[in-house]
Structure formats: C-alpha cells, structure tokens
Chain A
Amino acid sequence: MAMNNLIIQIMISISEVMETMFYIPVEPRDGLIAFEESGLPGPDRLEAATITFHGMFSGTIELIIPSSLLMIMTENFMGEKRQHLTQKHLEGTLKETLNMLAGNTFSKVDSQSSFCLGVPELNTSAIKNIDASREHESRIHYTAPLFVVDTLDGPMGIKVNVN
C-alpha cells in the first residue's frame, strides 16, 4: 500500500519537476518495465544517481537518465548552450533533479511527518567504469525492471527500493 502510494507520488512529482524546472513534459508508463523494453540506451550512455530516505518507511530512489537527455535538461535548467556546459553541470543537474523529485514526493506522501533525505550520490562510476568486472556489474544492475517516464527526447528510468 505504502509502496503503491509512493510510486504514484513519484510519478506526479517527476511530472511537476520536469515541467516546472526543465520545461519538458513527461508521460509515465504503467507498471514496471523490463530494461530491454524501456528504450533506455546502454549503460555507457546513461547517467544515474541515488538518494536514500528514512521515515515511516526507508529505502532508496534511483534516477537513470540518458546522457543526451541530461544534456538537454541541463541546457534548459541553466539557460546555457551545451558548448558552455561541463560534466560538473550535468552531474549537478542530475543530483538536483533527484533531490527535487524526492523532496516533492515526500511532501505529498505525508507533509506532516519527517522523512529525512540523504544527499544524492552519483552512480556514474558503476556505469562508466571500463574495468571489465565493474562493467559486468553495471550490466547486471541495469537489466532489472524499472519505472519509466517518456519525454520527447527519450525515456527516463526510476528505481524504487523500500526496505
């Protein structure tokens, strides 16, 4: 029950965050989607970050965005042309997006109780590390089903883990 409500609020929140801060409308798909059917590119062209939460229930939210979509989001967010953007801008935008998504979600789940949010952490080392064993790990990691929202510039993935 709590998980269902959390997912509903995440989907509402991702729409609000993407449309308000990035001017990008999104269309959530129903239910969990197999990674192969998500339309997401391979792990080497994905950026991801995770945030922890603690409260009535605890867990993590992971946001997975294709690098090309993250570039568009960062351009819209900062009002800068892509040639002026650095990896730090992209990473900062990814972390801030997840931060806003989580904060907005938990204000809807229960605005009176105190959910504590962690600091968003990048997962890029798990995705981009070219070391063979790490690459294998990341491929396993990114074959699991996930929630997907579509944009005109490609899909985004969301993974939710409640302990």
Chain B
Amino acid sequence: MTFSILLVDDSMPMRAVIKKAFIAAGYAGSDFSEAQNGIEALERLKKSWIDLVVTDFTMPVMNGLEMLLKMKQHDIFKDIPVLVVTTEGSQEKIDQFMNSGAAGYIRKPFTPEQLRDMITNILGESHGNEQSDNSDNDFDF
C-alpha cells in the first residue's frame, strides 16, 4: 500500500533523512511532498489528499504546534495523523503536542528503526483504511 506523506521541516537535510527512513521502512512507493514551515504545509494540504504529516516543532513562520492546532480546527484535516520529529527536549512541549492530538513523536537523534516502528504503528493504527479520495471536498480553512 502506498501513502501520500508530507514532510514538514525547515532543514532540507532532515527532510531528506526522514524520506530515506520511510523508503528503508518499505514505503518507497509512497508519494512524498515537502514543506519548510507550517504555512507551506497547510497550503500543500489544500492541493491533494495527504495520509500522514511528519513535522518538526521549531520552524520559522509557523511552527509545528501551530500547524497541528490549525489542522485540528479543520473539518477534513483534523483526522490526518501528525507525527512530530523534534529536537525539543522539554516534556512540557511534547505533552502540548500530544494533548493537541499528535499521533506520536520521536526525539532527534533517532535510529531508522525507531522511525520505522513509529511510522508502521501510526499508518497501521490510524490509517488502516484505503487511501481516501477527498478531491471533491472543500480544503479551504
């Protein structure tokens, strides 16, 4: 099964590393999109269906938590699982993410195996259905 995955991180090397981990985890056939911050990610979500959003926390323009909260206010995007991959060390910030509806988080540095396990867990549990086709839906905020 292939997925449409949106990678949100202002670090281009980190987006490449996460994509590489997805491919190593068996998601090579998936469609990957990229955004450098929350605003770009929300714009990308409006264009076509995304099955999973993987986001950093600290980003310029709009951070990962603000993006997650925007998604949770949206009729369609609220059900898209969001995985947080972050350097954030504070448990308080992690709790904020999880209490806001994130599907999971991984702290950097991470091993490919840790990321693979989390991806499999989320896509298996949170998106066991076939890929959705919401092309007729209104994606505007």
Contacts and interface: CB of A to CB of B under 8 A. Distances in A.
A58 interface: no
A112 B93 CA distance: 9
Interface of A is mostly: helix
A17 B111 CA distance: 10
B48 interface: no
Contacts of A115: 89-90
Interface of B: 11-14, 16-17, 20, 58, 60, 86-93, 107-111
A128 interface: no
Contacts of A92: 11-14
Most buried by B among A78, A95, A104, A111: A78
B108 A114 contact: no
Contacts of A133: none
Contacts of B109: 16-17, 20-21, 100, 104
Nearest to B13: A92
A10 interface: no
Nearest to B12: A92
Nearest to A99: B87
Contacts of B108: 17, 21, 99-100, 103-104
